[in-house]
Amino acid sequence: MQRVAVVGVGQTHFVSHRKDVMHSELCFEAVNSCLRDANLSIDDVNAIVFGVMDGFDGVDCLDRWCAGAAGGYGRPFMRINTAGATGLSTGIAAYHQVASGLSDVVLAVAEQRVSESLDAQSILNTAACPIYDRNIGGTAITLGSLPATRHMGLYGTTHAQRALVSVKNHRNACLNPFAHLRFEVTVEQVLQSRLIEWPLRLLECCPRSDGAVAVVLAGEHVARSLTDRPAWIHGAVSMADTFFYGDRPDVAYRDNLAVAARRLYRKVGICDPRKEIDVAELYSPFTSLEIMQTEALGFCSEGQGVRLVEEGVTWLEGDLPVNPSGGVLCTNPIGATGLVRMAEAALQVMGRAGEHQVNGVKTALCHGLGGVLQFQTLMVLGAEPR
């Protein structure tokens, strides 16, 4: 085992539709930006791990189309897919390769081009079990709406409280040049936006984004030779839960995320996450999920997630900013989204997040979520090696 650090990141600007490039060219753009950021050339890279989710692009085996564009020509190359969690699973796979000592420099690359499918929900329909679930008509939004209703019923959470999460994240996205939706919203605008799937309204739901992201990871020796301020990876966990939505007690993905978080905190020595974590980038495509995730991650007790946003704790100026980049609510290139969380967490630790930089970040948490709350991935990065 060797210590591993993130030494460079590259993101494309995320938009509804990148008409000026074809699919593979998005990868090429992100990888080049990442290598420039790390002051490396592709010849310094030992292996590439590539992540993308199936279907949206209408092309099977996207690993074929993108291997060369990701730098894979003549190099070890593998593809990862865990639905929405793909991006961070890709980062974790790259971390494991370097940590093992078998590679010193590994590129994690993830991308998605949700715009190429003219009907993204039809793709997502095919992710449901064709035997038992598919013709009932759960949608991508259902993974946020069912927990939202449950949270309202159990804890009295209101539409207006959830709307505050949207206000916060849209405000943050205005400070992030790579974010897709960059406009501010008010609680009233959120509450008056179109009803998509009760209780969730349009401004409580993520957009569909095109874009790519690359993160380069290096072993300790190489990392120290490249930069005096890398983002050290302290540890990561990933976990699969049941395929059956209805199997989870309490509908709550809170259960599986809470389990994953406990495993991670034990692994990296975090006793009080609220105090010891300085910033978190979470896979929160709906307002409801951010609230429940902050509870599952132990930032507050069960049912108290709305108080964190009401009291300003999770805002950019708060004690524990959540999604300072604007998060998934403002940018969602699905298979890439988890790796964007890792890139943003690394930028925060390296002090290079720009206008949405949180002051004095020593420890950052990032999270990926996929498969209707089935896959949970978490990673902690720090300014000092552990």
Partner 1 sequence: MSKMEQSSEEESIVIETRWNIPFAHHAGRTASRFFRAMRDEQKIYGVRCGQCQRVLVPARSFCEQCFVPVQDWVEVGPQGSIESFAINCMQYEGLPTPPYVIALVKLDGADTSLLHWIGDLDLSNVEMAASRIPIGTRVEAVWKAKRDGAMTDIAYFRLL
Of the candidates 16, 36, 58, 269, which one interacts with partner 1 according to CB under 8 A?
58
Q: Which amino acid is at 265?
A: Y
- In the complex with partner 1, the residue whose CB is nearer, 208 or 341, is 208
Dihedral of the CA atoms 291, 295, 301, 302 (nearest 10)? 80
Residue 360 engages partner 1 in binding (rule: CB under 8 A): no
Longest Cα–Cα distance of the chain, Å, equals: 57
Residue 255 engages partner 1 in binding (rule: CB under 8 A): no
Handedness of CA 384, 315, 354, 96 (dihedral sign): positive
Residue 263 engages partner 1 in binding (rule: CB under 8 A): no
CB of 366 to partner 1, least distance (A): 27
User: Of 266, 257, 327, 326, nearest to 296 (Cα)?
Assistant: 257
User: Of 333, 332, 344, 329, nearest to 379 (Cα)?
Assistant: 344
CB of 96 to partner 1, least distance (A): 24
The span from the CA of 139 to the CA of 197, in Å, is: 9
Residue 137 engages partner 1 in binding (rule: CB under 8 A): yes
* Segment lying near partner 1 (by CB under 8 A), choices 166-174, 241-249, 348-356, 358-366: 241-249
The span from the CA of 264 to the CA of 12, in Å, is: 30
Of the candidates 197, 278, 281, 344, which one interacts with partner 1 according to CB under 8 A?
197
Of the candidates 171, 251, 274, 303, which one interacts with partner 1 according to CB under 8 A?
251
* Segment lying near partner 1 (by CB under 8 A), choices 94-102, 103-111, 197-205, 318-326: 197-205
Question: What pairing do the DSSP bridges indicate for beta strands 200-201 and 105-113?
Answer: unpaired
CB of 46 to partner 1, least distance (A): 35
Q: Per-residue contact track with partner 1, 92 to 131, x per CB under 8 A?
A: ---------------------------x-xx--x----xx
Residue 156 engages partner 1 in binding (rule: CB under 8 A): no
Of the candidates 1, 195, 301, 384, which one interacts with partner 1 according to CB under 8 A?
195
Cβ-contact 127, 142 below 8 angstroms: no
Q: Which two tokens stand for residue 367?
A: 């999270």
Residue 41 engages partner 1 in binding (rule: CB under 8 A): no
Task: Kindly give, in sequence order, each residue whose CB lies less than 8 Å from that of residue 157, ignoring residues fewer than 6 positions away.
Answer: 148, 151, 291, 306
Catalog residues that contact partner 1 under the rule CB under 8 A. 19-20, 58, 119, 121-122, 125, 130-133, 135-139, 141-142, 145-150, 153-154, 194-200, 242-247, 250-251
